[in-house]
C-alpha cells in the first residue's frame, strides 16, 4: 500500500478545556464485573492548561462530545464501522462500500491490526480509488484532496485526522497512513472502540476535476486518438479551442478547403510581418511571407488532418495581422469566432462558396412589438451566428439549464404606463415586446454569458453557478420545425475574469467517444468529464470538523468551493443532418491544388527542421574574397558584406580543414591563403577581420550573442580568404609577374610580424568612397609603402577606367596623399603615413587614402565656416572626415503641416458628435472617400468633424542635423510654398500642435538661433542612428504672429449645442484685458455659417473637466492658458448660453472611460431643476448629444462622490435623493482604441483580424 514518507496530516490530541457551562461531573468508568480501579494513564487528568487532578478526584468531562454528536455523513464522505476490531490479525483488511464524488469512486481500506509496514503496531487506513468501468487504462484523477479520521467514540475532539493531496491512477490507486492509532490503545476505555468493539473510520474526498488520461513519455496524439493538437504561442489557448471545434465540423472544413487561393504570399517584411522576429522561432516552416486568412486556415486544417505532431498557428496569426502582444493577450473565444467567420466570409465574396458560411451557422429571429388593445404590430427580423444565453436572469434569478435560459431569452415584456409604446396613428399603447426564433442553423453555437458586470462591485465577474446542458436538445417548442440537436463540442474556460485557460471537449462523430483537446495534448475522456463535469456549481471540500464544538457544528455548513472550470461555448448539430455536417472531407477530392501546395510546404518545413538540427552540430561559413569587398562603396558595415558562397562546416573542425575545403572548391593551395573572420573588438568597439589560427577549432570563433554581427536567426561565420600576392583578385588564378618567384607560405602567418589591412580610396570631388582590396605587409613597414610600391595606383586604375573616380594627375611622384583610418561608421581619423604599420594600426583595420586638397588659388574657408545661400547652409567637404560628418548628419525629416483651424484632439478624441470608433462607412458617407486601411483613428475622426479646415499635409524633406531652427523653418516653408509674410509665421512642434501640451521649440527667442536640429532630435527622445531607416518627425503650423511675443495670443474654439467643435479663430488681446474683451472679439470674428446664437460664455477645459466658467470681468492674466506658449492646445471654449437655463442649475457632466475611470473628451453643461428624476437626466443627456437608443444603452450615468461612483437610478430625484452639488459622469468605452489609457495595457488591447489586402 502506498503511504507518504512523512505524514502530511497531524494527529488530533486532547482538546482545549471546554467552557464551564458545557461541563458535567461524572464518575470514572467502572469495568463490568469489577471494583473501581485506579484511573489508567491514558485517561490521566491532564486537562487544558496542565492542571493535574488526584487519582480519586472527580474529572469534569464533556459528555456531549461523544461520536453521536457528530454531523451526519456528508455526500462526499464515507463512514466505515469495523466490528470486533480486536479479532483481526496483522495485514488483514476491511473495505467499505464505494462512494462516488463526481465520477471519482473511492472506498476506505483499513488494517485494524496494522499492516506489515507498521509491524502491526498501528491501525493503517487508506483511501482507495475504485474506478468505474469504461475508463481508459491510463486514467488519472488529478490533485484529489482526501482526509482520513479515526474517530474517538468518547470524545470526537481526540480523533486523529490526517489529510493530503494525491493524483490517483492505476499505479497509485490508494493513499493513506500506516500509523494512526496504536493497536495497543484500542479499547473501549480509551474511546477508540465503541459498541461491539467497533472501530469507526471517516474519510472524505474533494475532487477538483473529472477523469483524464495520463500520457506517457511515448504518447502520440495521432497514434492514440487519431487527432493532434495545436501549440500554444503564449496565451492562445482560446484560439486553439475554437479552431478545434471549427475543424471538427466537417462541412466547415470542406468549405475552407474548397476556396482557391493564390499560392504567392505577400512579401515578408518588418512592417507586414510583426511576428517574424518573435514567433517564427522553432516554427514548422510557416515563417514565410504573410498569406491570406483563408490560405493560412487551410494550412492549419490540412496539418490537423495529416500531421503526426501538434500544429502551430504562427502563419494564421500573422495573417490576422497580430503582433507579439496579441500572442500573449488572452481574448474571448466567442469574440474571435465572430470576427474569424466575418473575415472568412469577406474573402469568399464572389467565389462559388459565397454564402456557404451563412447556410451553416446563420439562424433568424424576430423582434416584435404587438399592441394589446389595438391592431398594430411592429416586426423586425435579425440573423444570428450564435445565441448568448444568460446564466443569471435580468431579475437576478439563477437559470438552471438551456431551456430556462431560452425561455428567459424569449420572454415577453409588457410596455405600459410611462414606458408605453408609441404606435403610429394610435398614440401611446400597451404592448407586448419580445423575441421569437424563426429558424435555427444546422450548427448552433451557444455562448453561456458567464462573464457578467456586477453593479455592486462595479466590475466584471465570472458566474460559476451550476448550469446544465443536455446531450440532446429539443428546440421544437422555440421555433416551428426546429427539431432536435445533439451536443458536439464543449469549450471550457477554467479560471476567473482576469486570467484563465481554455480547452475543448469534442465528439468528432456521433459514433465515437469524447476527446479532450488541451492545446497540443489530445486525450480520450469519459462522457461525464466532457458534459456533467462542466456544468459549474460548487463541490464540497474536506474540512476538519472534529475540532468544532457541538454548538458550532449545529450551525456549521460543509464548506464548498466553486468549480472555476465550466462550459463557456456549446456547439450543437441538428440531428437530421449531423452525419453530413460532421463527415470529414477528403482534401484531395475537394481541392487537389490546395493539397499540392500544403504538401510542398510540409516538405519545405521538414527541410527547415533538418537545417535547424544541423545548426546544433554545424555552422554556416560565409566565404568572402577581396573581389567581394571591392563590390561595396562607402562606409559599409559587416551586414553589407556579400559572400561568394556558403559552406556547412562542423563546429569542431579546425581552420585548416576550412582551408582544405577552399582549396578543393577554388583550386588555391591551402598554404597560399589565410583565413580571417569577423570579430568584435572591445576598445574601441569595432567589428573587424582577425586571423584564424590554422589549428584552432571553428567553434572558438563563432560570434557570441552580444556582439553586433551575431544573427540569432542565422548564426554564421563570415570568413575572408586572402591569397598571396600574385593571384588575380577576380579570377583567383596565379598570375605572378615573375614566374620564378615562389609564393609565400601563408600557413605560417605570424600575426605579430605580418598585418592585413582593408584599403579604400576617397575621391573628394566626386564624393565617392571605393574599396581597393586587402593589403598584406610586414608590421615594421611604413604605411606609405603601399603607395610607393604602386599597389594603390594599380588597384585604383579599375575605378578610373569605369569612371567611378576622377583620373589622377599624370605625375604620380608629385601627388600628396593623406591616410585616414575608418575608426567607426561615419568617423575617420588622420594617420601619419610616414609611420610604421604596427605603431598605429592592427590587422583588420580599414584605411582610406585620398589626395590632399590643393592649396593653389584663394584661401579656403576654415572647417567651421559654411557656404551656400543665407537660407540653407552648405557645409564643405574637403576630406573623408568631413564627408563622414556630412553622412552622419544627413537625415530625412517627415514634416506634417497643420491648419491652425484644425480641431482640438486630446488623447485621440475630437468633438465631432461621434462616440463610437470611426467606421469606414460613416467616413465615406461624410467625406465621399473611404479611409486607408492603415489610417489612425485620429485621422478618421478628423474627417468626421463639422469644422472647416484643411487636412494635414505631409512631406519628407532631407535636412542636416547641424542646421539651426531658423534654417529648418525656412526649408519647410520653401518645401510647402508658404508665403514669407508676417501673417504666416511658422511654429514648429514635435507632434500635432492641437494634440499636445508641448511648447513650440522656436518659442523662446533667446534659444532660437543656437538650437540645432540635432538638439531637436535629442529632445524628441528619438533613438535614430544616422542615415538609418528611422525618421525624425516635425509638425508645423502657421500663425499671424511669432511665438512668445506679447500681447497675449489666444485660440477660441466654438462649440455648438451638441458639444461639437464647429470652428476656431486665433487673435491677440492685451495682457491687461478681461474675459469681456475676448468674448467681444470672439463674437466679432465668429463666422456666420456656424449659426451660433449670442450671448456667448467662455470656459476653460483642463484634463477633460471644466476648469472654470469664466465671468466677463475676470482678468486675462487669471486664465489657465495665460503664458502657455501652445495656444492651439491651451485654448478657450466658447459656446452659446442656452435659452432654457433660466431658473435652473447648470451642472457639469463629463465623460469617463469604463476601464480606467479616467475622464476624456469634452464635458457638457446641462440645466437641471430640483427634483429632476434620474430617468429624465439620462434622456436629457441622450438628446443633448443626439445619441441613438442603441448607442446610449451601453452608457451609464454615474454619481461621483467621495466613496466612488454609483449608478443613478431612474427613480432618484436630483436635489432630493442626492445633493445638489453632486458631480455626474457618463461612463462608456473610450471611442479611440489606441488612446493613452489603454495602449500600454495588454489586457485592454482590442481583438482584431486585419482585412486582407488586395493581392491576397
Residue ranges with strand state E in 451-584: 451-454, 459-462, 472-474, 484-495, 500-506, 514-518, 521-525, 538-540, 560-562, 565-574
Sign, Cα dihedral of 14, 16, 18, 23: positive
DSSP H or E segment with residue 244: helix 237-247
Q: What's the rounded Cα separation, in Å, for the pair 1098 and 1077?
A: 11
By the 8 A CB rule, do 214 and 169 touch? yes
User: Does residue 914 carry a catalytic annotation?
Assistant: no
Name the pairing type of β-strands 484-495 and 1048-1055. unpaired
DSSP string, 55-103: TTS-EEE-GGGSGGGSPPPPTTEEEEEETTGGG--TT--EEPPPEEETT
Please name which of 1036, 1135, 1051 lies closest in space to residue 1092, comparing C-alpha atoms.
1135
- Total residues found in the chain within this entry: 1256
Q: Which residues have a Cβ under 8 Å from the Cβ of 317 and sit 6 or more positions away?
A: 233, 236, 275, 279, 326, 327
Q: What's the rounded Cα separation, in Å, for the pair 1132 and 1101?
A: 8
- Angle subtended by helix axes 592-617 and 293-306, to nearest 10: 80
Residue 553 backbone class (left: φ over 0; alpha: ψ -120 to 50; beta: rest)? alpha
Please name which of 437, 438, 251 lies closest in space to residue 359, comparing C-alpha atoms.
251
- Neighbouring C-beta atoms of residue 651, cutoff 10 Å: 15
Please name which of 598, 580, 570, 506 lies closest in space to residue 250, comparing C-alpha atoms.
580
Cell triple for 606: 521538414
Catalytic residue, candidates 169, 237, 313, 774: 237
Name the pairing type of β-strands 985-989 and 953-960. unpaired
Q: Give the Cα-Cα-Cα angle 423, 424, 430 (nearest 5 degrees).
A: 10
Q: Which residues have a Cβ under 8 Å from the Cβ of 476 and sit 6 or more positions away?
A: 482, 483, 484
Buried b / exposed e across 518-527, counting CB within 10 Å, b at 16+?
bbbbbbbbbb
* Local structure of 374: helix, strand or coil: coil
By the 8 A CB rule, do 629 and 773 touch? yes
- Neighbouring C-beta atoms of residue 626, cutoff 10 Å: 21
Q: Which residues have a Cβ under 8 Å from the Cβ of 645 and sit 6 or more positions away?
A: 623, 665
Backbone phi and psi for residue 734, each to the nearest 5 degrees, phi listed first: -75, 115
Backbone phi and psi for residue 151, each to the nearest 5 degrees, phi listed first: -85, 135
Q: What's the rounded Cα separation, in Å, for the pair 851 and 832?
A: 14
Buried b / exposed e across 801-822, counting CB within 10 Å, b at 16+?
eeeebeeeeeeeeeeeebbbbb
Q: Give the Cα-Cα-Cα angle 316, 321, 327 (nearest 5 degrees).
A: 70
Buried b / exposed e across 219-245, counting CB within 10 Å, b at 16+?
eebeebbebbbbbbbebbbbbbbbbbb
- Neighbouring C-beta atoms of residue 1239, cutoff 10 Å: 14
User: Does residue 501 carry a catalytic annotation?
Assistant: yes
Catalytic residue, candidates 76, 248, 331, 501: 501
Displacement of CA 690 from its chain's centroid (Å): 43
Please name which of 710, 606, 731 lies closest in space to residue 666, comparing C-alpha atoms.
731
Catalytically active residues are 237, 501
Amino acid at each position: 500500500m502506498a503511504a507518504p514518507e512523512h505524514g502530511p496530516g497531524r494527529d488530533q490530541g486532547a482538546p482545549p478545556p471546554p467552557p464551564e457551562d458545557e461541563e458535567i461531573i461524572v464518575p470514572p468508568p467502572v469495568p463490568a464485573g469489577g471494583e473501581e480501579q485506579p484511573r489508567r494513564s491514558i485517561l490521566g487528568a491532564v486537562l487544558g492548561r496542565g492542571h493535574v487532578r488526584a487519582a480519586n478526584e472527580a474529572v469534569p468531562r464533556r459528555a456531549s462530545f461523544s461520536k453521536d454528536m457528530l454531523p451526519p455523513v456528508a455526500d462526499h464522505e464515507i463512514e466505515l464501522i469495523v466490528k470486533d476490531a480486536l479479532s483481526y490479525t496483522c495485514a488483514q483488511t476491511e473495505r467499505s462500500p464505494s462512494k462516488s464524488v463526481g465520477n471519482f469512486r473511492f472506498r476506505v481500506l483499513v488494517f485494524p491490526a496494522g499492516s506489515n509496514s507498521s509491524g502491526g503496531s498501528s491501525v493503517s487506513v487508506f483511501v482507495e480509488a475504485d474506478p468505474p468501468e469504461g475508463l481508459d487504462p491510463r486514467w488519472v484523477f488529478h490533485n484529489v484532496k482526501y482526509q482520513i479520521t479515526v474517530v474517538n467514540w468518547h470524545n470526537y475532539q481526540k480523533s486523529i485526522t490526517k489529510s493530503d493531496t494525491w493524483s490517483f491512477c492505476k499505479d497509485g490507486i490508494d493513499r493513506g497512513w500506516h500509523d494512526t492509532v496504536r493497536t495497543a490503545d484500542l479499547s473501549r476505555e480509551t474511546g477508540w472502540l465503541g459498541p461491539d468493539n467497533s472501530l469507526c473510520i471517516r474519510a472524505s474526498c474533494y475532487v477538483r476535476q473529472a477523469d483524464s488520461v495520463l500520457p506517457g513519455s511515448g504518447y502520440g496524439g495521432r497514434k492514440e486518438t487519431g487527432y493532434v493538437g495545436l501549440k500554444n504561442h503564449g496565451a492562445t489557448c482560446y484560439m486553439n479551442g475554437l479552431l478545434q471545434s471549427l475543424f471538427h465540423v466537417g462541412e466547415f472544413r470542406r468549405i475552407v478547403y474548397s476556396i482557391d487561393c493564390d499560392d504567392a504570399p505577400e512579401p515578408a517584411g518588418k512592417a507586414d510581418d510583426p511576428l517574424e522576429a518573435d514567433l517564427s522561432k522553432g516554427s514548422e516552416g510557416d515563417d514565410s511571407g504573410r498569406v491570406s486568412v483563408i490560405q493560412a486556415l487551410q494550412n492549419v486544417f490540412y496539418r490537423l488532418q495529416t500531421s503526426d505532431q501538434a500544429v502551430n498557428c504562427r502563419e494564421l496569426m500573422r495573417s490576422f495581422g497580430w503582433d507579439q502582444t496579441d500572442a500573449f493577450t488572452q481574448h474571448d473565444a466567442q469574440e474571435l469566432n465572430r470576427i474569424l467567420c466575418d473575415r472568412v466570409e469577406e474573402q469568399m465574396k464572389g467565389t462559388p462558396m459565397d454564402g456557404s458560411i451563412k447556410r451553416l451557422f446563420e439562424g433568424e429571429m424576430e423582434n416584435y412589438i404587438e399592441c394589446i388593445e389595438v391592431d398594430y404590430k411592429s416586426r423586425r427580423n435579425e440573423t444570428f451566428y450564435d445565441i448568448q444565453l444568460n446564466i443569471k436572469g435580468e431579475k437576478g434569478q439563477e437559470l438552471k439549464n438551456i431551456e430556462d435560459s431560452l425561455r428567459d431569452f424569449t420572454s415577453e415584456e409588457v410596455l405600459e404606463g410611462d414606458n408605453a409604446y408609441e404606435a403610429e396613428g394610435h398614440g401611446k399603447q400597451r404592448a407586448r415586446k419580445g423575441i421569437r426564433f424563426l429558424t435555427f442553423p444546422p450548427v448552433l453555437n451557444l455562448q453561456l454569458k458567464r462573464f457578467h458586470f456586477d453593479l455592486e462591485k462595479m466590475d466584471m465577474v465570472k458566474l460559476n453557478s451550476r448550469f446544465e446542458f443536455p446531450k440532446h436538445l429539443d428546440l421544437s417548442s422555440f421555433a416551428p420545425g426546429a427539431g432536435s440537436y445533439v451536443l458536439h463540442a464543449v469549450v471550457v474556460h477554467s479560471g476567473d475574469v482576469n486570467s484563465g485557460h481554455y480547452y475543448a471537449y469534442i465528439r468528432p462523430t456521433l459514433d465515437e467517444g469524447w476527446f479532450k483537446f488541451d492545446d497540443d495534448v489530445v486525450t480520450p475522456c469519459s462522457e461525464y468529464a466532457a458534459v456533467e463535469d462542466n456544468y459549474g456549481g460548487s463541490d464540497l471540500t474536506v474540512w476538519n470538523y472534529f475540532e468544532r464544538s457541538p454548538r458550532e457544528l449545529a450551525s456549521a455548513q460543509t464548506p464548498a468551493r466553486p468549480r472555476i472550470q465550466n462550459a463557456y461555448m456549446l456547439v450543437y448539430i441538428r440531428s437530421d443532418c449531423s452525419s453530413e455536417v460532421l463527415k470529414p472531407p477528403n482534401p484531395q477530392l475537394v481541392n487537389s491544388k490546395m493539397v499540392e501546395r500544403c504538401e510542398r510546404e510540409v516538405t519545405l518545413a521538414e527541410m527547415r527542421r533538418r537545417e535547424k538540427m544541423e545548426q546544433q552540430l554545424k555552422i554556416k561559413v560565409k566565404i568572402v574574397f577581396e573581389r567581394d569587398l571591392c563590390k561595396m562603396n562607402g562606409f559599409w558595415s559587416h551586414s553589407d558584406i556579400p559572400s561568394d558562397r556558403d559552406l556547412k562546416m562542423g563546429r569542431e573542425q579546425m581552420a585548416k580543414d576550412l582551408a582544405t575545403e577552399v582549396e578543393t572548391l577554388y583550386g588555391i593551395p591551402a598554404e597560399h591563403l589565410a583565413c580571417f573572420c569577423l570579430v568584435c573588438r572591445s576598445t574601441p568597439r569595432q567589428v573587424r577581420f582577425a586571423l584564424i589560427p590554422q589549428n584552432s577549432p571553428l567553434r572558438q570563433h563563432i560570434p557570441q550573442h552580444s556582439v553586433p554581427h551575431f544573427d540569432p536567426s542565422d548564426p554564421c561565420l563570415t570568413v575572408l580568404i586572402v591569397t598571396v600576392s600574385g593571384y588575380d583578385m577576380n579570377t583567383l588564378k596565379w598570375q605572378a609577374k615573375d614566374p620564378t618567384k615562389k609564393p609565400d607560405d601563408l600557413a605560417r602567418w605570424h600575426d605579430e610580424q605580418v598585418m592585413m589591412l582593408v584599403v579604400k580610396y576617397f575621391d573628394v570631388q566626386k564624393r565617392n568612397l571605393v574599396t581597393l582590396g586587402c593589403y598584406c605587409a610586414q608590421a615594421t613597414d611604413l604605411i606609405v609603402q603601399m603607395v610607393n610600391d604602386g599597389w594603390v595606383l594599380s588597384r585604383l586604375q579599375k575605378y578610373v577606367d569605369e569612371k567611378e573616380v576622377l583620373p589622377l594627375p599624370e605625375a604620380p611622384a608629385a601627388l600628396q596623399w593623406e591616410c585616414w583610418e575608418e575608426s567607426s561608421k561615419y568617423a575617420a581619423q588622420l594617420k601619419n603615413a610616414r609611420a610604421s604599420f604596427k605603431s598605429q594600426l592592427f590587422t583588420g583595420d580599414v584605411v582610406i587614402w585620398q589626395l590632399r586638397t590643393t592649396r593653389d588659388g584663394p584661401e579656403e574657408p576654415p572647417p567651421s565656416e559654411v557656404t551656400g545661400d543665407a537660407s540653407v547652409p552648405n557645409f564643405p567637404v574637403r576630406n573623408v572626415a568631413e564627408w563622414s560628418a556630412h553622412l552622419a548628419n544627413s537625415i530625412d525629416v517627415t514634416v506634417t503641416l497643420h491648419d491652425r483651424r484644425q480641431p482640438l484632439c486630446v488623447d485621440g478624441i475630437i468633438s465631432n458628435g461621434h462616440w463610437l470608433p470611426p467606421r469606414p462607412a460613416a467616413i465615406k458617407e461624410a467625406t465621399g472617400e473611404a479611409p486607408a486601411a492603415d489610417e489612425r483613428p485620429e485621422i478618421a475622426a478628423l474627417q468626421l468633424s463639422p469644422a472647416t479646415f484643411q487636412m494635414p499635409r505631409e512631406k519628407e524633406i532631407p535636412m542636416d542635423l547641424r542646421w539651426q531652427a531658423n534654417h529648418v523653418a525656412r526649408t519647410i516653408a520653401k518645401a510647402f510654398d508658404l508665403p514669407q509674410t508676417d501673417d504666416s509665421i511658422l511654429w514648429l512642434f514635435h507632434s500635432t500642435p492641437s494634440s499636445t501640451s508641448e511648447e513650440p521649440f522656436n518659442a523662446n527667442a533667446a534659444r532660437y538661433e543656437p538650437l540645432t536640429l540635432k538638439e531637436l532630435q535629442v529632445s524628441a527622445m528619438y533613438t535614430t542612428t544616422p542615415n538609418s531607416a528611422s525618421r525624425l518627425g516635425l509638425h508645423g503650423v502657421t500663425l499671424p504672429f511669432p511665438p512668445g511675443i506679447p500681447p497675449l495670443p489666444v485660440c477660441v474654439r466654438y462649440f455648438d449645442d451638441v458639444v461639437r467643435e464647429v470652428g476656431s479663430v486665433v487673435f491677440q488681446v492685451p495682457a491687461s484685458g478681461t474675459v469681456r474683451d475676448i468674448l467681444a472679439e470672439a463674437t466679432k470674428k465668429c463666422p456666420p455659417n456656424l449659426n451660433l446664437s449670442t450671448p456667448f460664455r467662455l470656459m476653460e477645459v483642463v484634463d477633460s473637466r471644466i476648469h472654470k466658467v469664466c465671468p466677463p470681468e475676470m482678468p486675462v492674466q487669471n486664465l489657465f492658458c495665460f503664458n502657455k506658449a501652445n495656444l492651439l492646445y491651451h485654448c478657450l471654449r466658447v459656446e452659446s448660453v442656452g435659452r432654457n437655463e433660466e431658473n435652473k442649475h447648470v451642472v457639469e457632466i463629463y465623460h469617463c472611460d469604463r476601464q480606467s475611470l479616467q475622464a476624456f473628451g469634452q464635458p457638457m453643461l446641462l440645466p437641471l431643476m430640483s427634483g429632476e428624476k434620474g430617468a429624465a437626466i439620462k434622456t436629457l443627456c441622450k438628446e443633448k448629444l443626439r445619441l441613438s437608443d442603441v448607442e446610449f444603452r451601453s452608457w451609464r450615468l454615474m454619481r461621483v462622490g467621495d466613496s466612488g461612483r454609483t449608478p443613478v437610478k431612474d427613480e432618484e430625484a436630483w436635489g432630493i435623493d442626492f445633493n445638489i452639488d453632486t458631480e455626474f459622469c457618463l461612463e462608456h468605452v473610450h471611442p479611440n482604441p489606441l488612446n493613452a489609457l489603454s495602449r500600454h495595457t495588454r489586457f485592454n488591447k482590442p481583438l482584431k483580424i486585419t482585412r486582407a489586402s488586395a493581392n491576397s
